[in-house]
Amino acid sequence: MQKPVLALAFSGGLDTSYCVPRLAERGYAVHTVFVNTGGTSADQRAAIRAQALAVGAVEHHELDARSAVFDRFVRVLIQANVLRGEVYPLSVAAERTQQAISVLEVARAISATAVAHGSTGAGNDQVRFDIAFRVLAPDLEIVTPIREESLSREQAIGYLEARGFPVPPKSGAFSINRGLWGTTWGGGWTHDTWAPPPAELLDPAQRVPAPSDIVIGWERGLPVALDGVSLAGHAIVDALSEQAAAYGIGHGIHVGETALGIKGRIGFEAGSALMLIAAHRELEKLVLTKWQGFWKDQLGRFYGDRLHEGHYFDPALRDIEAMVTSSQQKVTGETRIHLGPGRFAVTGARSPYSMMDRAVATYGEENRLWTGDEAKAFARVGAIPELLAMRAEARARGAA
């Protein structure tokens, strides 16, 4: 009798390494699927393939989804300046949804009847994978051994060792997720909000280069060039990530709400994301009106929340994307970023659409579009709401 075919989202880590032989024991022909969303070298991807085959995969599949992650997700995260809790650039959320989409592509190609992931029952990833699978492939069974068995990391290690399967390196206290939009640390020290992170997160060991400047070229709210060289979006992200890592830029810790309603804490390294969002925001300040910026901020925060919690397929997000895209028509120009040890600063922005026009006025110094008397009248009229409120309060106190 032919075994049912299953496609497993495979990272090469402990949990997914456990899933392969465990699912085989349950009668599935397990195909592993590694979706390259950035952050891995050719040697690392080769090691992931070797691990998949060593733990019993029938076949290992690898898909390059870096462009898809940028075009579908990172594009909007930059244009909407999305930082969860004003700190964290959603390094994992977008990539998990794309991984689910890509796993389903393989599942259809191999005629799978089931899909699987290695998420636990306590985190956000299970929700992201499950929602994508249910929305895009409601006919496929979803199998989740780690969640179903409430397995600890120690139990997973013991299972692999007892059967002679290789245990991935660094499978102990915490997990590391690397991708195009950043790297996150979870487990171990992140469970105690007073516990400090490992030294590698706060204090990069390598010697940093001398301070330097980089110039990013922008078209319609997207980075298109680095120091005058045109590059694809994901290539710019990768190049900035290398520079940020060399300077020790972009390391941080975030505490926030999870999809399950509990608090969660992670460490992250996302220098490229933080630099791009900061530079983009400065360019926007030159070319957008006050209320364009205001409503973008509100909708961008909502967009980030829904994406973080796995609801990328909510039709409301397509509406927000349309608004964000419309707002970016004039976000074109250049930004300059200064890099130093552990820090960066956006030191310049320019655009042909800049509304900072010295021919009209210079803030705090001179003006040409209005007179001093007109400015005095403007300030007098502007005080009316507060004046009326104060008068009303005074009358109320006098009547009491």
Successive 10-residue mean pLDDT values, the chain, 400 residues: 93 94 96 94 95 97 96 96 93 90 98 94 87 97 94 89 89 73 84 83 76 97 98 95 93 83 85 97 96 95 94 96 97 98 95 81 63 84 90 84
* CATH 3.50.50.60 holds for 5-177: no
Integer Cα distance of 136 and 126 in angstroms: 15
Q: Specify whether the CB–CB gap between 210 and 239 falls below 8 A.
A: no
The pTM of the whole model exceeds 0.85: yes
Quote the radius of gyration of the chain (alpha carbons, Å): 25
Integer Cα distance of 363 and 200 in angstroms: 44
Q: What are the residue boundaries of the structural domains of the chain, listed by start?
A: 5-177, 181-350, 362-399
Cα–chain-centroid distance for residue 134? 22
How far from 348 is each of 213, 244, 338, CA to CA, in Å?
A: 10, 18, 9
Write down the pLDDT at residue 185: 82
How far from 190 is each of 174, 221, 252, 301, CA to CA, in Å?
A: 8, 34, 12, 24
| Superfamily the domain 181-350 falls into | Argininosuccinate synthetase, chain A, domain 2 (3.90.1260.10)
How far from 167 is each of 16, 72, 159, 179, 217, CA to CA, in Å?
A: 11, 34, 10, 22, 44
Write down the pLDDT at residue 189: 81
